[in-house]
Chain A
Amino acid sequence: MNDRMDQWLGRLPDDGPAPDLAARINLAIAERSRLKARWGRVGAAAIALALIGMTLMAVSWPVSGVLPAAPDSAAVLEAAEGFLSAPLEALGGSAEAAIAWESSLAEGVEVAFVVGVVLLTLGSVGGLARLLRRSESLNGFSA
Chain B
Amino acid sequence: MHAVNASDDELVRRTVRGERQAFGLLVERHTLVVYRIVRRMCSDRAEAEAITQEAFLRAWESLRRRKEVAAFLPWVIRIAVNATRDMLKKSRPLDFADLPPEEMLELADTGMEVEAAADEEALLAQLSDAVERLPLPYRVVIALRYEAEMSYEQIADVLQLPLNTVRTRLHRAKGRLRESLEGVA
Check: A13 CB closer than 8 A to any chain B CB. Answer: yes
B150 in the interface (beta carbon within 8 A): no
CB distance from B45 to the nearest CB of A (A): 6
With the chains together, A24 CA to B49 CA distance in Å? 10
Which positions 45-80 of chain B face chain A at CB distance < 8 Å? 45, 48-50, 52-54, 56-57, 60-61
- The smallest C-beta distance from A138 to any residue of chain B, in angstroms, reads 9
In the complex, A26 has a CB within 8 A of chain B: yes
- Whether B52 contacts A25 by the Cβ 8 Å rule is yes
CA distance in complex: A130, B48 (Å): 31
Closest 4 CB pairs of A and B: A22-B31, A9-B146, A17-B35, A22-B28
- Say yes or no: B127 contacts A9, CB within 8 Å: yes
Main secondary structure, interface of B, reads helix
- B128 close to A (CB within 8 Å): yes
User: Given A12-B128, A17-B31, A21-B31: A28 and B53 within 8 A (CB)?
Assistant: yes
Question: 10 A-B Cβ contacts within 8 A?
Answer: A4-B185, A5-B178, A9-B146, A9-B174, A10-B149, A21-B31, A21-B53, A29-B23, A141-B54, A141-B87
A136 in the interface, Cβ–Cβ < 8 Å? no
> B54 and A142: CB pair below 8 A?
yes
Q: Are B35 and A21 within 8 A (Cβ)?
A: yes
A128 adjacent to chain B (CB < 8 Å): no
